[in-house]
Chains A and B, each alone.
Chain A
Amino acid sequence: MTETPVISTVGLSGLLISFGSGMSEPANRAALAFRTVLEAEDWPEVSETMMSLVSVFVAVDLVDTPAEQLREKLTDLLATRDWYGAALPGGRHLWHIPTVYGTDLAPQLQEVAEVAGLDPQEAIRQLSTARVRVLTLGFAPGQPYLGELEEVWNIPRQQDLTKSVPTGALVTAIRQLIIFTAPTPTGWRHIGQTAFRNFVLGDSNPFALSPGDELTFPAIERAAFDKLSRTDRFGGAEKEVIA
């Protein structure tokens, strides 16, 4: 079921610990747990760490630090527990982000429901009650890849790119959701619209979300959406600490 973590070098920039060769929930959870522990270790030669879907990148200057030396330390740390079975780390947040499904704000809801084989009301019910986790942040600053949705949402990207969807767009493909940071051309389908901002330059905390945070997207009416304060960067979202 689970794979053995593999350590590789990444050019001269660092090492990669890969917990799987494809996206899976246990591998994502292992990467999240491992990065959290690694950050707490605060090794002096490590300049930063990041997680992708199923791996952790450890940035180290391999010109000055021999890769083998770091590989040994990582191997020792990996051996301390079963990362695939590790509990989710604490200090995460659960966000409830009001979302308009469909309408002219998010015109591909109907199409997505058809591809998933659901009627639109059932599609909205499932999407607005699903609880998903930030699998990784990437592509644009603070932009979350969220998952995983139920198997029925394993729908492919569309063949053609949509020229642009707006900031705050909620899009879906391959059992995942994304909230876009900025207007973006995309092959993912635009099913909901939020007033949430992933990244606000100049804010004391410019990135709203962190890897491991969880989100829900409760449905609101178009009229309620229009009333959401434009000065609220979180678009009326509520945030609670997950113990």
Chain B
Amino acid sequence: MTAHLKVMSAGPSMSIQDLGREGHLAYGLTRGGAADRLALHEGAALLGQSAACAAIEMVGIGGTFEATADTVIALTGARMVATLEGAPLVWHACHSLPAGAKLVIGGVQSGNYGYLHIAGGFDTPRHMGARASHLNAQIGAPLQRGDALAFDPTKSARAGYFLSPDNRLQGGVIRVITSFQSDHFSSETRERFARTAFRRDPRGNRQGVRMDTDAPGFYAEGGLSIVSEVITTGDIQVAGDGAPYVLMCESQTTGGYPRIGTVIPSDLPKVAQAPVGGAIRFEFISHDAAIDIEKRARREIKSLSSQAQPLVRDPHDIADLLSYQLISGAVSASADPFAR
């Protein structure tokens, strides 16, 4: 049995994403997948399902949706204004979505990439082992008005739970390790890089995010004649103009501009979600320290589902919990009930 989530209106950059596809680097195709992978794990924890389930990634602005069967949704990643039949919905939480009810997801209040998950995940076509759109590689397409995304209505999930994620929507200190091209930059240049105050440039997308600064550019010694080498997600590539770019999930697979270092995986969501103009600083840490941090981050991801809390303390006392606007209103002080 199949039901559909109908897209009644769509922002310009909504796409289906999952954890991406591995195994195609040799053929020039990077993994892709969600720009904020942690948000996929959070949605999965809220709905009690696998993080491999596909969700809708919304960049900056969402859309209007209706389901053809009762289901449960979760909202994670960048905080966005959301209403169900006009009543505000708490972000970082899961909610019942009755058939035919109008779900409106407006603009971001904080961050860049918001996610709309559904119980059981979206059952959209797989290409080469994943459902993720990889727009640079012309796999998949942005979602648009009139699309109907299949899901399995027999998959149910508990509704009315929330998570309190670590704040990763404001930029801040990004931890970096050296990689195989770091020593193309002098130690003075690397130290200056680590001291420099950057701002997230408006030029940023799923391919890479440019870092802006008033400081002079960062140049490698003999910089522009380096043979093209593999690029990995998180690499900080310094382009010809001396400006660093953090390369993201849809980057090219190889590149000739040298990489000064690599953002550790667990800090990549912070880069993806940093607001335009948001302050960024890079801190070099040792490989051993990075491995410890990643091990801890993986343990935390595993414990996410046990961290989900009920939206109210005693839901048994209320017959039709989510029809009460005061509940979500009480939890979300920042939601704008008048938006859209």
Contact = CB atoms under 8 A, between A and B. Distances in A.
B232 A11 contact: yes
Nearest to A24: B227
A18 B230 CA distance: 11
B331 interface: no
A202 B23 contact: no
Interface in A6-56: 8-14, 16, 18, 20-23, 35, 47-55
Interface residues of A, number: 45
Contacts of B235: 11
B26 A16 contact: no
Contact of B28 (A9, A18, A23, A141): A141
B234 A47 contact: no
Interface of A is mostly: loop
Interface string B41-58: 000000000000000000
Interface of B is mostly: mixed
Interface stretch (A70-78, A82-90, A103-111, A131-139): A131-139
Given A50-B253, A201-B139, A21 B26 contact: no
Nearest to A8: B180
Nearest to A143: B28
A225 interface: no
A12 B180 contact: no
B254 A139 contact: yes
Contacts of B28: 137-143, 181, 207
Given A10-B232, A12-B265, A136-B254, 10 more contacts: A11-B179, A11-B262, A12-B290, A14-B232, A52-B227, A57-B230, A139-B253, A142-B28, A142-B29, A199-B27
Interface of B: 22-29, 127-128, 136-139, 177, 179-180, 225, 227-230, 232-235, 252-254, 262, 264-265, 287, 290-291, 294-295, 298
12 contacts: A11-B177, A12-B264, A49-B26, A52-B229, A137-B26, A138-B228, A141-B28, A141-B29, A199-B27, A201-B128, A207-B27, A207-B28
Interface of A: 8-14, 16, 18, 20-23, 35, 47-55, 57, 59, 62-63, 67, 136-143, 181-182, 199, 201-202, 206-207, 210-211
